[in-house]
Structure 1
Amino acid sequence: MKHIGIIITDRNDPTAQAFQNACVSNNIKPHMIDLREKKVIIGESLSLQIADRDLQQLDVIIVRDVGAGGFDGVSFRFDVLRQLEQEGVPIINSPVSIQNAANKYYASSLMAKAGLPIPKTMVVQDTGNALNILDRMEDAVIKPIFGYKGKDIVRIKDGTIINNDGTTNDSELEGTIDAILEQRGMLYIQEYIANPGRDIRAFVVNGKVIAAIYRTAPEGAWINNLSQGGNESRCELSSYQIELCIKASRSVGTYFAGVDLIEELNGSNNGNGDKSLILEINATPSVAGIYKAWGINAAKYIIKNISSDL
């Protein structure tokens, strides 16, 4: 029997459970592994075990979630994954591809290098330049480089901060920019794309789009993430959108990924009537939205693809 390790932080997470069940249904032994429990003793040799489980003996490791927290802790857990990879254990997604996708600045750079359409993006490290950019863009969003689930995003339109529900925020803009800079040390500023009130999450596995959903924001809101109250519905992608998603996944090196597209209302098309732009890539995506909309079990699809190579 083959053995697959599943890196988790929450045993009750629906995606983690979906991977576990998919292993069982394919006659594979799943091992749920929380790297926060890992301790290492470095001496004449390096132990890569958790409890009595030798991680080097696993046939494959799938990364669902390494956990958040302080930089040192997260970095250590990625170091463990890299060490396992160096010892010959296949890691899916690879540590490098997860880090590529998680870093919005670097992911945007990789996608731009691959010639993929993304919103106008600028990065600055001081308030003066930030205010000038926001004035020129007129409508923009400031995102944390390592943000997730639509959290901590700030929208600024014509110098006014716009809350997620569409109402205005009376906070003073310069003070808000100063506070964000003090916390993060830089600003990742992206042009806000006027859209139909939705974005698209496509699930890519091994160079193929298996399904896509619309994520529609609650009425009046502008953040579409399901974790922020958005609703999922079926989406049929155009051939051009499918090509974008596959190329985006390839550009950051992921085996499977959630690729987010936005349909620009007022932009110029790409020669075929399509005005889609790539917002970002998630290398540890939830499978819940795709399953609710389509009944497609992406975890089962991933495990089936992996097991055929074991």
Structure 2
Amino acid sequence: MRKIVVVDYPKDWGVTIEDVEVVDVQKYLTDTAYTEIKNARIFNLCRSYRYQTAGYYVSLLAEARGHKPIPSVTTMQDLKTQTIVRAITVEIEDLIKKSFGQLRSQTFTLSIYFGQNVANKYEKLCKQLHDLFQAPLLRAQFVKKDGWVLQSVSAIPINEVPDHHWKYLEEFGKSYFARHRFSGARLNRKVYDLAILVDPDEKEPPSDKKAIQHFVDAADSLGFYTELITKDDYRRLAEFDALFIRETTSVNHHTYKFARKAYADGLIVIDDPVSILRCTNKVYLAELLAKAKVPTPKTMIIHKDNRNQVVQELGLPCVLKTPDSSFSQGVVKAKDNEGLDQELDMMLTESELIIGQEYIPTDYDWRIGILDKQPLYACKYYMAKGHWQIYNWKGKKRQDTEGAVETVPFEEVPFIVMHTALKAANLIGDGLYGVDLKEIDGKAYVIEVNDNPSIDSGYEDQILKKDLYLSILKSIKKRIDNHKNFRADE
């Protein structure tokens, strides 16, 4: 992956950084050698990003060539519209007030060089603004009214950086590019950059550490440079070609924010934001499956006006689910009328709608892993010891918390189970899904479709071993190839 800094004049960027090319704007725009490059990161340091200027066309043509420009044309447009600037930065209002609480002046200008400022006390605010507006050099103008507010954000023309700031600019630039993995050997060997989003502190992540390493090894064998990132790396998404999320997803969560931004920036994303939206909300899923006539346990969407009909519709015991439940959390079994009323009181306080399902006891649930609308693996998830779910979060020991997992060859999976799983998953999209089903008397019933299925070492990979991880990474690579070829043909 080539890293190219584009400037109006070579003298504008007199910093030498290993493995970073510096080219003038005319050469990048007109030299066919740059047109033919398939994989490149373009750091646009032109003096102006105004519409139809050379700087504007650098980012525009970079996107057309399948390169990754920083800033993107979208960011350039956002910077021009102050209403968008204010709307985007609403979430950091508290940080702004906190950062300038001691200032006595009525205005303040914050210069942001590669996400940093010459004063360390503004580091967090600079990072946040760089997250929101990914441009190398930014100028943020603040005014004090009833409190401090952001008035505008604009790009700093490189020729307007004050002389006494250049030593900081060079330092921040070298740190920025060093952090972005510029190694000569890697430039020649790696084809694409892959980010795997993980949470080191998550107690029960979708993939354990050994499985994550298998993903990294599989990616390496296919020519990826792979980096494990966390929620603190949001501003770095533009560096990558693909994002693979391996922490538990939720809409009101940074995982969705990562997926949404990566998708908007043109990255290949698993899980994509649409899949997260569709799978993590059980109300949506219930409606979708019912409309498509996919068999499920008897289900009703419960609200305050029909809560008294639950027993009549579902009987007792019955299962209640919060809309964003996952990994058996937010899922309860109401055994009697008193318990039902208590659970409904609590759940309907948090959400206008919840899901109720008839209780169907089985020794295990089927889990069919599906990728690109094709089966990937099949498992039997047995119920946790002495519990009615596959996870018992009240268990004191691991063997009490989780039931056993048995991976099953496809030829041993009943046709109706496989057929129903594929029908359900294909309603969501072509991503990576895990469909949970119960099989009773030759019929299959979908419990839920998961957008972020568990893939743990020694469990889901019992049959395919390392080929399971390789299959997923091959799909990601194919998606990137197709995306870049499509962009090249436009």
Match of 1:299 in 2: 469
Is 2:233 the partner of 1:60?
no
2: CA distance, partners of 1:219 / 1:91:
36
- SS across alignment from 1:153: strand
How far has the Cα of 1:291 moved from its partner?
1.7
1: CA distance, partners of 2:199 / 2:445:
32
Is 2:445 the partner of 1:277?
yes
How far has the Cα of 1:215 moved from its partner?
0.9
How far has the Cα of 1:102 moved from its partner?
1.0
1: CA distance, partners of 2:476 / 2:245:
13
User: In the alignment, which of 154, 164, 187 is matched to residue 354 of structure 2?
Assistant: 187
- Counterpart of 1:242, as a letter, is M
Confirm or deny: 8 A CA contact 1:122 1:188 kept in the other structure: yes
How far has the Cα of 1:141 moved from its partner?
0.1
Deviates more, 1:235-244 or 1:206-215: 235-244
Match of 1:168 in 2: none
Q: State how 1:231-310 maps to structure 2 within 5 Å.
A: 231-235=404-408, 236-265=412-441, 274-288=442-456, 289-292=459-462, 295=465, 297-309=467-479, 310=481
Change (3 A) 1:186 1:262: same
Change (3 A) 1:219 1:10: closer
How far has the Cα of 1:306 moved from its partner?
2.5
TM superposition outliers: structure 1 runs of 4+ over 6 Å: none
User: In the alignment, which of 341, 359, 369 is matched to residue 203 of structure 1?
Assistant: 369
Over aligned residues, Cα RMSD in angstroms?
Answer: 2.7
**Highest Rg: 1 or 2?**
2
2: CA distance, partners of 1:14 / 1:105:
34
How far has the Cα of 1:297 moved from its partner?
4.9
How far has the Cα of 1:177 moved from its partner?
2.4
2: CA distance, partners of 1:225 / 1:297:
27
User: In the alignment, which of 253, 256, 263 is matched to residue 78 of structure 1?
Assistant: 256
Change (3 A) 1:154 1:135: farther
Change (3 A) 1:30 1:187: same
- SS across alignment from 1:222: coil
Confirm or deny: 8 A CA contact 1:4 1:28 kept in the other structure: yes
2: CA distance, partners of 1:194 / 1:121:
15
**What 5-or-longer segments of structure 2 have no aligned partner?**
1-189, 202-207, 394-400, 482-490
Match of 2:307 in 1: 130
For normalisation by structure 1, the TM-score amounts to 0.77
Deviates more, 1:298-307 or 1:14-23: 14-23
Is 2:334 the partner of 1:156?
yes
How far has the Cα of 1:216 moved from its partner?
1.0
* Percent pairwise identity: 23
User: In the alignment, which of 344, 356, 361 is matched to residue 177 of structure 1?
Assistant: 344
Confirm or deny: 8 A CA contact 1:5 1:32 kept in the other structure: yes
Confirm or deny: 8 A CA contact 2:390 2:403 kept in the other structure: yes
- SS across alignment from 1:307: helix
Change (3 A) 1:154 1:37: same
How far has the Cα of 1:60 moved from its partner?
1.8
Match of 2:380 in 1: 214
Match of 1:44 in 2: none
- SS across alignment from 1:302: helix
- Counterpart of 2:447, as a letter, is L
- SS across alignment from 1:146: strand
- The one-character-per-residue Cα deviations of 1:251-304 (angstroms, maximum 9, x if unpaired) are 111411111111125xxxxxxxx3111111111112123124664653321002
2: CA distance, partners of 1:208 / 1:107:
20
- Counterpart of 1:204, as a letter, is I
Change (3 A) 1:212 1:225: farther
1: CA distance, partners of 2:429 / 2:464:
26
Identify the structure with the greater helix proportion: 2
How far has the Cα of 1:30 moved from its partner?
0.6
Match of 2:121 in 1: none
- Counterpart of 2:388, as a letter, is W
- Counterpart of 1:304, as a letter, is K
Return the structure number with greater relative CO, CA threshold 8 A, min gap 6: 1
2: CA distance, partners of 1:66 / 1:215:
19
**What 5-or-longer segments of structure 1 have no aligned partner?**
39-48, 161-170, 266-273
For normalisation by structure 2, the TM-score amounts to 0.50
- SS across alignment from 1:152: strand
- The one-character-per-residue Cα deviations of 1:149-174 (angstroms, maximum 9, x if unpaired) are 112322124x26xxxxxxxxxx6542
- Counterpart of 1:8, as a letter, is V
How far has the Cα of 1:104 moved from its partner?
1.2
User: How many pairs align?
Assistant: 271
- SS across alignment from 1:240: helix
Match of 1:43 in 2: none
Match of 2:161 in 1: none
- SS across alignment from 1:56: helix
1: CA distance, partners of 2:198 / 2:359:
33
